[in-house]
Structure 1
Amino acid sequence: MHLKQILSTALLLPTLSHAWQAPTYTGFRRLFAEEFHGPAGSPVDTDVWHYITDLNVNNELQKYTKSNRNLQISGGGTVQIVPRREPDGGWTSGRIESEYHFTPRAGRETIAEGYVRFGDGDPARKQGLWPAFWLLGQAVRNGIDWPMAGEIDILETVNGILTAHGTVHCDVVGGGACNTPIGVGASVPLADQSWHRWRVVFDRTSGDWRSETITWFKDDQQFHQISGERIGSERVWATLGQSPLYFIMNVAVGGDWPGYPTDDTLDGYDSMMEVAYVAVYESE
């Protein structure tokens, strides 16, 4: 059963006062689900997630930490990634990467998704903030440089602008098949900063790499799609749509895309990214 036939079959997510659960989909089996249960202030499960602290990329300002001031289980079945302006004027934040990785299988559709919201602070006061929910090629962990390992950004926003972006990066810097560092992307407007389901679907049912696709959805609305034919190289396409990928969640501060925060930029829960679940499904 194809994805278009099962979108309406998702179980409704419960309200925040109950336990959050990843939905089930008719015709798909769930391969992985992380639902962030635990007491308020506790860390994520380090058998599932790696805390990243030693990283300096994109001219970002933040220092990633393991502190629960920056990344914590909420006590309500979610994880909260919280940027903080420190007394010395610097910024701290959180970034986690999944130990789990998955490979979109030939002949199947594979769904990777999460349920995400942003803090309720005034979007006009989020200059310099860059939350992201994304996938990176497992090959990076085996010594293959970015962007050759492949990157799929499921959801990014910058500067509080109520627009979400879905993008791929691949091949080489300075152009290549994915026009890196710009990437091949599309955007979708956001009416609010509240909860939405963000999904990418890998469709390998055609049997021909050229017509395989990766498709982006906000809730159940498609807003971007790429194909092997669009990438134009079987080798490069394999890094995006046929190879192992793992999840990353972070809130960056500053950097080449958003620019830098101002004195008016909000920190704390007003500017957090909160995630209720992360899940992967495969068609039966």
Structure 2
Amino acid sequence: MHSFITSLCLFLGSAEAAKGALHHHHNPRRDGGEHSSVLPKLSIPPSILDSYQLTWHEEFKHRPGHYLPSSENWIFDVGTSYPGGAPNWGTHEVETYTTSPANIRVTRDDTLTITPRVSSNRTWTSSRIETQRTDFAATPGGRLYIEGRLKTGSAPTYKQQGIWPAFWALGVDFRSNYTAWPAASEWDLMEVVNGLPKVYNTLHCGVAPGGPCNEYTGLGSGGVHWTGGQWHTVGFEVDRSAGVWYREKLKWYLDGQQVFQIPAARINSSAIWENIAHKGHFILLNVAVGGDWPGQPNATTVGGEGVQLEVDYIRVWNYYR
């Protein structure tokens, strides 16, 4: 792991002030346009701070009479699988995803909450959304930076067995072929399991089992300290600025500090790296319950606010060479 910076770069006065300003500019031009001077700065190292342009963002602005985020930006996954896809979302999760306001809503505080719920007979519901756009990518010689401000539940660890919140992305090829995993590639920007004080950053790619990404485990950070119930800024960068594929990198950030990276040379395949770092991806947010990694919920696992994922914003930035 490599730490470039230990202090956060502040948004316009404060994160809230920046967010308020952004609510008036939901469709910035690709080149930054007339609004570029009021866009919030990144919370990643200042060496690249001023060269990025905000190209997409979701501030989860509350709209009276609407509890879901805009369908212009988001697809709502429902049930226990994609149509024709692997059952239980391919991971043996036990929840059913819904669009119920009990499970997903935009709050009056302009945040998104995804809340697992458990019934009296111990069946689970939750929510999962993914961006309509599938073209989040770094251009040749450029960089892509994705950032979210998120908070996981504060329930005691013993009450979070099986709870699995995530902020992640899948390669565009998966959208049209639900069997294209892990070849399409998966970026896990943030995963927390069982309420443990760690956040996991992982890349999945290639073939399974085995392959250059060591599937089904993936290539990961091994866990970085995380505190539930507190806001964190999670960032991810695709850096293609070196100009040749084998010098490109993926980088993960937490609260303004780089915590993990994967160089292309570690993958050692231009075809696999193309899917990882050159093709478009789409962003997902969800809270799964159960699954191969966290294990199944037990009698002490709770639903509700103590295990929910709350999201302040998701922002996508690009640097164009």
Give the structure-1-normalised TM-score.
0.93
Amino acid at match of 2:41: T
Give the distance between the partners of 1:19 and 1:245, measured in 2 at CA.
28
Amino acid at match of 2:55: L
Could you list the per-position Cα deviations for residues 49-101 of structure 1 after superposition, in whole angstroms to 9, with x for gaps in the alignment?
A: 01101312211100000101011111111100000001232000000000023
Give the distance between the partners of 1:211 and 1:244, measured in 2 at CA.
19
Aligned pairs (5 A) from 1:71-220 = 71-101=104-134, 102-143=136-177, 145-186=180-221, 187-220=223-256
Give the distance between the partners of 1:117 and 1:61, measured in 2 at CA.
23
Q: Any idea what SS the aligned residue of 1:14 has?
A: helix
- Give the corresponding residue for 2:312: 276
CA contact (8 A) 1:155 1:164 kept: yes
Post-superposition shift, 1:107?
A: 1.1
Change (3 A) 1:97 1:191: closer
Post-superposition shift, 1:19?
A: 4.2
CA contact (8 A) 2:153 2:228 kept: no
CA contact (8 A) 1:20 1:277 kept: no
Give the distance between the partners of 1:110 and 1:48, measured in 2 at CA.
19
Q: Any idea what SS the aligned residue of 2:16 has?
A: coil
Change (3 A) 1:124 1:20: farther
- Give the corresponding residue for 1:263: 299
Post-superposition shift, 1:208?
A: 1.1
CA contact (8 A) 1:164 1:188 kept: yes
- Mean Cα displacement is larger for which, 138-147 or 221-230? 138-147
- Mean Cα displacement is larger for which, 6-15 or 206-215? 6-15
Could you list the per-position Cα deviations for residues 102-137 of structure 1 after superposition, in whole angstroms to 9, with x for gaps in the alignment?
A: 121111121011100012322331011000000100
CA contact (8 A) 1:107 1:207 kept: yes
CA contact (8 A) 1:124 1:161 kept: no
- Give the corresponding residue for 2:33: none
Give the distance between the partners of 2:102 and 2:236, measured in 1 at CA.
30
Residue identity (%): 33
Amino acid at match of 1:8: C
Amino acid at match of 1:149: A
Q: Any idea what SS the aligned residue of 2:193 has?
A: coil
- Give the corresponding residue for 1:253: 289
Post-superposition shift, 1:283?
A: 1.8
Give the distance between the partners of 2:203 and 2:104, measured in 1 at CA.
26
- Give the corresponding residue for 1:58: 91
Amino acid at match of 1:27: S
Give the distance between the partners of 1:210 and 1:9, measured in 2 at CA.
33
Give the distance between the partners of 2:187 and 2:250, measured in 1 at CA.
9
Give the distance between the partners of 2:267 and 2:165, measured in 1 at CA.
26
Give the distance between the partners of 2:180 and 2:247, measured in 1 at CA.
27
Give the distance between the partners of 2:214 and 2:263, measured in 1 at CA.
15
Give the distance between the partners of 1:177 and 1:9, measured in 2 at CA.
37
Give the distance between the partners of 2:255 and 2:319, measured in 1 at CA.
19
- Mean Cα displacement is larger for which, 97-106 or 115-124? 115-124
Count of matched residue pairs: 280
The two structures, once aligned, show a CA RMSD in angstroms of 2.1
Q: Any idea what SS the aligned residue of 2:149 has?
A: strand
Could you list the per-position Cα deviations for residues 180-202 of structure 1 after superposition, in whole angstroms to 9, with x for gaps in the alignment?
A: 11000002112443111100011
Runs (4+) of structure 1 exceeding 2 A deviation are 4-12, 18-26
**Partner of residue 55 from structure 2, selected from 24, 28, 31:** 31
- Give the corresponding residue for 2:273: 237
Query: Unmatched 5+ residue regions in structure 1?
Result: none
Q: Any idea what SS the aligned residue of 2:141 has?
A: coil
- Give the corresponding residue for 2:71: 46
Q: Any idea what SS the aligned residue of 2:306 has?
A: helix
Between Structure 1 and Structure 2, the one with more strand by share is 1
Give the distance between the partners of 2:61 and 2:268, measured in 1 at CA.
43
Give the distance between the partners of 1:156 and 1:167, measured in 2 at CA.
9
Give the distance between the partners of 1:100 and 1:83, measured in 2 at CA.
26
Query: Unmatched 5+ residue regions in structure 2?
Result: 23-38, 43-49, 82-87
